[in-house]
Amino acid sequence: MGFPTANMAVSTQFAVPSNGVYATVTTILSENVSRHSVTNIGVRPTFDNGVRSVETFIFDFDQDIYGQTIRVEFIQKLRDEQKFAGLDAIKAQLAQDVIQARAALGTAGR
């Protein structure tokens, strides 16, 4: 969909916020560098109402971090999880989510 995400397995020792979309800051622990991001928590109601997942899109980032440990800090909830009419509607909303997250994190225009 044009928004590659880090899909996370979350340990039960950590608290996870309610389903929705959040402005976040993600740190790849091996690099100890923080990057702005947007994170979705939910069950993918448009597709399958599957298992609850946590997915993070890291802004301006294009590296393979599969298998690495990351830390996600939740800064602001942007919206609740919702079901969309189809793929085009999801893509349009994701683009808006990124704009809102950048503004919430003070990175508008980057």
Q: What is the pLDDT of residues 79-105, one digit of tens each?
A: 999 989 888 998 999 999 999 999 999
Higher per-residue pLDDT: 47 or 22:
22
The residues pairing with 38 across neighbouring beta strands, listed in sequence order, are: 23, 57
Strands (E), 1-110: 6-8, 20-28, 33-42, 53-58, 70-79
Distance of CA 76 to the CA centre of its chain: 12
CB 60 within 8 A of CB 67: no
pLDDT score recorded for residue 49: 72
pTM over 0.85: yes
Q: Which CATH superfamily is domain 6-105 in?
A: Riboflavin kinase-like (2.40.30.30)
8 A C-beta contact, residue 39 and residue 16: no
Mapped onto helix, strand or coil, the DSSP state of residue 51 is coil
Range 29-38 average pLDDT: 92
